Amino acid sequence: MNVIVVGAQWGDEGKGKVVDLYSAKADYIVRYQGGNNAGHTLVVNGKKTVLHLIPSGILHPGKTCLIANGVVFDPEVFFEEIESLVQSEAFRDHSGNPTQPHHVVRVSERAHVILPYHRTLDQLRENHASKLSGAGGKIGTTGRGIGPAYEDKVARRGIQVIDLLRPDVLRAKLKRTLEEKNVLMKHHFDAPLLELEPLFELCLRLGERLRPYVADVRGVLVHALQHKKPILFEGAQGTLLDVDHGTYPFVTSSNTVAGGALTGSGVGPGVPVQVIGITKAYTTRVGTGPFPTELEHVDPELAQKIRKIGAEFGATTGRPRRTGWLDLVALKYAVEVNGITGLALTKADVLQNFDHIKVCTSYRLAGNTLYELPSSGEDLEKVEPAYEVLPGWGSYNPREIHSPADLPQELRDYMRFIEDFLHVPIVLMSTGPGREETLVISDPFQAS
Ligand code: IMP
């Protein structure tokens, strides 16, 4: 069996830890969308590693990590991560000397490249938009050039990894794209013009360094599927940040939903797969955009308490995350749009010793009760959450949890409430931040 892991909320659900755990069971781990806007924080043996681009499976010896065609790939960030992994002793040859992980990391020839001008444009756009408000206003992007790189891809003026290895093609493509960009730079942003030659040289250097990592990733996956090797598709961001199905326009520029794993890696829909949606026991969001259960304006102290206990600060930008109660209307939508077959519940430990826990089960809008997520972002901005109030649970020691029966009864009731509402089982529960603080209820790789 193969597994797709997706964020079921607005990202930052704790996917890194679940992916890390599932990586042990897969032979291939694939990033299929997004780029280094993601940030997976892993705690292994008390040591923290943050990865933005390379699949977190890299920390498991013997696995092949693939960056597929759907990713927007920043080569400079890639090499920074490779270097930090090499420095952190993740890769050693037989004599114990540092070595480059060419053999275990592969980058698709078809992935689109993030170049310095994408980052510049991302930041210029956000600065420009910060003068406006509402749907035309600032999105609160990570500033990593993700949106502009996807724009170029869809507009058919992007640079692909394969182009970095073909100087003639590269020069022609860069020339064409810079001509257009410079009109924007000059007339819209009043910013310095982009120069072709230094950029061309940079691309050539990056391409040469990248050469040993470049592969036909789709072909690698076909081979893996033919040999029934288990594959883990590692989603980034979250369902509600999907460019088609999220809270548009306050979204990222890729398909974060499970379907993105297929188009983003070149695998067909007949693949046997389980879809695991990761959700926190509450909700967070970074950046702007609607967030019905947000606590900031209702109970700022509680919002801050959850942020503090949950260490809710972005792994990529360090920004404080907005916090709120669990939103089951949004989660039900995520179950439907991804075809989620099992849930992984994270960070219930953050809510320990709360008197009561609220769960949003419907919205109120203009006198009506809504049980579905409205399509209009303006409506979603206006909805009032309607809550069920459940009893809180006391404290527990994550290291003493070996089966669901070891969890406090109130927490088990909370989990049951979620399962009954969504008609999806919780297959994994993270009881604390460490790799070992995890309760595996059932194994999706063994599902029939
Ligand atoms: P972009 O992906 O940098 O273009 O940002 C678009 C929106 O997605 C912003 O609201 C970001 O804060 C959000 N975003 C992007 N990546 C992540 C992530 O990994 N976790 C949570 N939010 C993210």
- Ligand 1 mutation pick, 50, 142, 316, 319, max ligand atoms within 8 A of CB: 142
Residue 164 has pLDDT above 80, yes or no: yes
Q: Which residue has the least CA distance to atom 11 on ligand 1?
A: 141
Q: Give residue-wise pLDDT tens across range 102-112.
A: 778 999 999 99
Give the model's confidence band at 356: pLDDT under 50 very low, under 70 low, under 90 confident, else very high.
Answer: very high
Residue 431 has pLDDT above 80, yes or no: yes
| Alpha carbons 412 and 431: distance in angstroms, whole number | 12
Around ligand 1, the residues with Cβ closer than 6 Å are 11-12, 37-39, 139-142, 144, 146-147, 236-237, 241, 250, 252-253, 286-287
CATH architecture of the domain with residue range 279-446? Alpha-Beta Complex (3.90)
Token pair in block for residue 235: 């989603």
- 3-class secondary structure per residue, 373-435: CCCCHHHHHHCEEEEEEEECCCCCCHHHCCCHHHCCHHHHHHHHHHHHHHCCCEEEEECCCCC
Class of domain 2-108+213-275: alpha beta
- Ligand 1 mutation pick, 241, 247, 248, 283, max ligand atoms within 8 A of CB: 241
Q: What percent of the chain has pLDDT over 90?
A: 81
Q: Which residue has the least CA distance to atom 2 on ligand 1?
A: 252
Which is more confident, 77 or 96? 77
Atom of ligand 1 nearest to the CA of 142: 3
The mean per-residue pLDDT over the stretch 144-152 comes to 97
| Alpha carbons 34 and 53: distance in angstroms, whole number | 9
Residue 224 has pLDDT above 80, yes or no: yes
| Alpha carbons 73 and 81: distance in angstroms, whole number | 13
Helix (H) or strand (E) segment spanning residue 206:
helix 196-210
pTM of the model: 0.94
The mean per-residue pLDDT over the stretch 331-353 comes to 97
Nearest 5 degrees, angle CA 197-CA 200-CA 205? Answer: 125
**What pLDDT, on the 0 to 100 scale, is given for residue 302?**
97
C-alpha 313 chain-centroid distance: 15
From ligand 1's centre to the CA of 209, what distance in Å? Answer: 28
SS3 category, 187: helix
Q: Which residue has the least CA distance to atom 1 on ligand 1?
A: 141
From ligand 1's centre to the CA of 240, what distance in Å? Answer: 10
Q: Which residue has the least CA distance to atom 23 on ligand 1?
A: 237
- Ligand 1 mutation pick, 126, 153, 237, max ligand atoms within 8 A of CB: 237
CATH architecture of the domain with residue range 113-209? Orthogonal Bundle (1.10)
- Encode burial over 325-357: b for 16+ CB neighbours within 10 A, e otherwise: bbbbbbbbbbbebbebbbbbbbbbbbbeebeeb
From ligand 1's centre to the CA of 82, what distance in Å? Answer: 23
Closest C-alpha among 16, 87, 97, 93 to residue 61: 93
Residue 288 is classified by DSSP as S
**What pLDDT, on the 0 to 100 scale, is given for residue 167?**
96
Q: Give residue-wise pLDDT tens across range 252-284.
A: 999 999 999 999 999 999 999 999 999 999 999
Domain ranges across the chain: 2-108+213-275, 113-209, 279-446
Q: Which residue has the least CA distance to atom 19 on ligand 1?
A: 38
Q: What percent of the chain has pLDDT over 70?
A: 96
Q: Cite the active site residues.
A: 12, 40
Atom of ligand 1 nearest to the CA of 288: 10
Residue 44 has pLDDT above 90, yes or no: no
